Structure 1
Amino acid sequence: MSANLPAATASPDLARGVSGRGDDAPPVRDVTLRGRRWWREVGWRHVVGVVVIAYCVLPLLYVLSASLNPGGTLTGSNNLFRTLDPANYTELFGTNFGYWLGNSLLVCTVTAIGTVLMGSAAAYAFSRFRFSGRRASLTALLLIQMFPQMLAVVAIFLLLLSLKEVFPVLGTNSHLALIMVYLGGALGVNTFLMYGFFNTVPREIDEAAKIDGASHGQIFWTIILRLVAPILAVVGLLSFVGTYGEFIIAKVVLQDVQKFTLAVGLYQWASDERNAPWGLFAAGAVLAAIPIILLFLFLQRYIVSGLTAGSVKG
């Protein structure tokens, strides 16, 4: 019987259900930005982004162009990519560049791994244990990181000279000694950085693991380190990048040409501004940037996955 009712007597609610919106619904506003309003709210951001990208990319293109210009100079490479010749890269492998790259990768990798392990162990102790002198030790770490490591260069050099007479492997011109210096300088700031991140991990996880019979070592290696993977990746990346381009301490500690790191070795080529092989130097700089880029892309994936993996449910 209801099917024979005229359309005029149909229920308003039924009409709204069929049409999707009622007569009293507010009209849809056109939020599209146009004209001056678009430039005022959105357009200027595009302009700033383009300027920043050009500011960052232009030096990279300039160095890449200089590396492909055999026999050229930096001042004569204003015309980008005027010459495309890989002669500088071919000549590069006939020098000590391979030794320098290997030394840098060895020193930076060991330093990054050692920094992550030492810093995470110290941060776990400060975050989970309560012992005498804990607050004073945290304050000391906070004060130590305020002073740059460069202030101790003379003391470090004299100490390494003394250690060389007793333990030659820990003296000057030793990669192990350089790694130890880097680890000592990075321990304070990285421990304090990790300490704040370790405090965000709920203690209930530790208590639940202890009830199941886990020791502090098992909790640290199998549970806590996985939960704090983002900060481990950040500290490892910062440690690697910082030691990869460090020059002053490496120059003081290392004297043998074949034991130089990349920063010290490339400086030897650029020390004489008039007769420096700038094309060779630019080619070395381009190849030296590849490990940093690859490491950043690799760790960035772990950082993002660690931050978005989920949360602890109560």
Structure 2
Amino acid sequence: MDANTVTELKKTLNFTPKSGTRFSHFWKFRWLYVFMIPGLLYFFVFKYMPMWGLIMAFKNYRPHLGIMQSEWVGFAHFERFFSLPDFWMLFRNTLLLALYDLVIFFPLTILMAIMLNEIRKEWFKKSVQTIVYIPYFLSWVVIVGITHILLSVEGGVVTEMLSQFRSNPVDFLTSPDWFRPLIVMQMVWKDAGWGTIIFLAALAGVNTQLYEAARLDGANRFRLIWHITLPSIRNIIVILLILRLGNFLDLGFEQIFLMVNSLNREVGEVFDTYVYRTGLVQGQFSYSAAVGLFKAAVGLVLVMGANWIAKKFGEEGLY
């Protein structure tokens, strides 16, 4: 290798674009962009590429013909879905569970974060955080299994205790009246602790001088939370609320599927379990794709609507 070649190679390895050029910013943070590649590939492969299959919702899909060769039927599957009595049952069940999640679960995570933030004993605070975080790492199979152990009619711990006070034991697992409360309690126990992490991180950035000034003015603990803590994390609350609205109808398949049975299906069947039953079990691929597309479209409208409302009220929003 001659001297000229070595000189050119050194220039290439030590290349630094001139400041002010369009490429300079990219080159300065080039390794950060390299680290983004795995995440971008993940979203491209598992999120964007599957969107090609949405065309199945507008066709009468036949596996031996493929998506492109199958018959085009337009909005026939959507018309069928909206005309069936199952649509209103699914919409009612999904909407109620989603509202319970939004009205009970989401505010509870904020409340838990504030309560944890108010603990002054560091060892006690870490102990409580560990206890409330642990259920998040359990699968829904384990959570539902524990529920069956506690509430089963035959040998359930809670059922046996209640049977001491009443002659007819309550069948929690098959009762339609108890299905939704059980779902909410499971969600709270499993995910509420983990949902406090972002709020705790936001609370850690609140200026402590604000609390000191408020105490000098005679503010008690409740007024400190109401007038300083909550306004300080308001932007985070709004952003997370918008993101949660995007998954408003996405209640999670595993939990509902494991808790639904033939006796409580009338109040427990939701879009996710219906798509599984009609699509994979019954083989109605195009019809189930139409149901899934409808649910996704509702989530998109909710996100855009919530973001627009947030902007109207002076919040940052998502975009």
Measured against the shorter chain, the TM-score band is: 0.5 to 0.7
The answer to whether structure 1 residue 261 and structure 2 residue 270 are counterparts is yes
Q: Which amino acid letter does the alignment assign opposite residue 83 of structure 1?
A: W
Check 1:32–1:170 CA distance in 2 against 1; reply closer, same or farther (3 A cut): closer
**Unaligned stretches of 5+ residues in structure 1:** 1-27, 309-314
Taking only the aligned residue pairs, the percentage that are identical comes to 13
In structure 1, which of residues 160, 171, 179 is the aligned counterpart of residue 184 of structure 2? 179
State the Cα distance separating 1:224 from its structure 2 match: 2.2
Question: In the superposition, relative to structure 1, how do residues 227 and 166 fare at CA in structure 2: closer, same or farther (>3 Å)?
Answer: farther
Larger C-alpha radius of gyration, 1 or 2? Answer: 1
Query: Distance in 1 between the 2:92 and 2:64 partners?
Result: 31
User: 1:120, 1:194 within 8 Å by CA — same for their partners in 2?
Assistant: yes
Deviations 1:167-203 (A, max 9, x none): 6678754112111111111112112332222111122
What SS is found at the alignment partner of 1:179?
helix
- Deviation for aligned residue 1:104: 1.6
Measured in 2, the distance between the counterparts of 1:32 and 1:265 equals 51
Shift of residue 88, structure 1, vs aligned partner: 0.9
Which whole-Å CA distance do the structure 2 matches of 1:94 and 1:224 have between them? 48
Deviation at 1:128, TM superposition (A): 2.5
Please name the residue that 2:14 is paired with: none
Contact 2:58 2:77 in 1 (8 A): yes
TM-score (norm 1): 0.68
Report the alpha carbon displacement of residue 239 of structure 1 after superposing the two structures with TM.
8.8
TM-score, reference length from structure 2: 0.67
Aligned to 1:115: 105
Secondary structure of 1:72 counterpart: strand
Unaligned runs of 5+ in 2: 1-17, 160-167
* Cα shift readout 1:74-93 (whole Å, capped 9, x = no counterpart): 55452189625211111102
CA contact (8 A) 1:92 1:284 kept: yes
> How many residues matched?
269
- Letter of the 2:90 counterpart: W
1:235-254 pair list within 5 angstroms:
235-236=240-241, 237-238=243-244, 241=247, 244-254=250-260
Number of the residue aligned with 2:141: 150
Q: Which whole-Å deviations, capped at 9, do the CAs of 1:113-165 have from their partners, x for residues lacking one?
A: 32222221121122133258333212333444444443222111233435677
Aligned partner of residue 72 in structure 2, secondary structure: coil
* Letter paired with 2:120: R
User: Does the residue aligned with 1:244 lie in a helix, a strand or coil?
Assistant: coil
Once residues 169 and 199 of structure 1 are traced to their aligned partners in structure 2, the CA distance between those partners, rounded to angstroms, is: 41
Q: 1:239 to 1:90 in 2, by over 3 A?
A: closer
Offset at residue 287 of structure 1 (A) = 0.5
Amino acid at match of 1:251: F
Matches within 5 A, 1:150-229: 150-161=141-152, 162=156, 173=176, 174-229=179-234
**Superposition RMSD in Å:** 4.1
Paired AA for residue 280 in structure 1: Y
Which whole-Å CA distance do the structure 1 matches of 2:43 and 2:229 have between them? 39
- Mapping for residues 127-138 of structure 1, pairs under 5 Å: 127-131=117-121, 133-138=124-129
Equivalent-residue separation in structure 2 for 1:51 and 1:139 (angstroms): 30
* Aligned match of 1:14: none
Where does residue 304 of structure 2 map in the other structure?
297
Q: Is the 8 A contact 1:169 1:176 kept in 2?
A: no
Contact 1:62 1:77 in 2 (8 A): no
The higher relative CO (CA closer than 8 Å, separation ≥ 6) is in: 1
Q: 1:266–1:284: 8 Å Cα contact kept in structure 2?
A: yes
How do 1:24-35 residues align onto structure 2 when only pairs under 5 Å count? 31=21
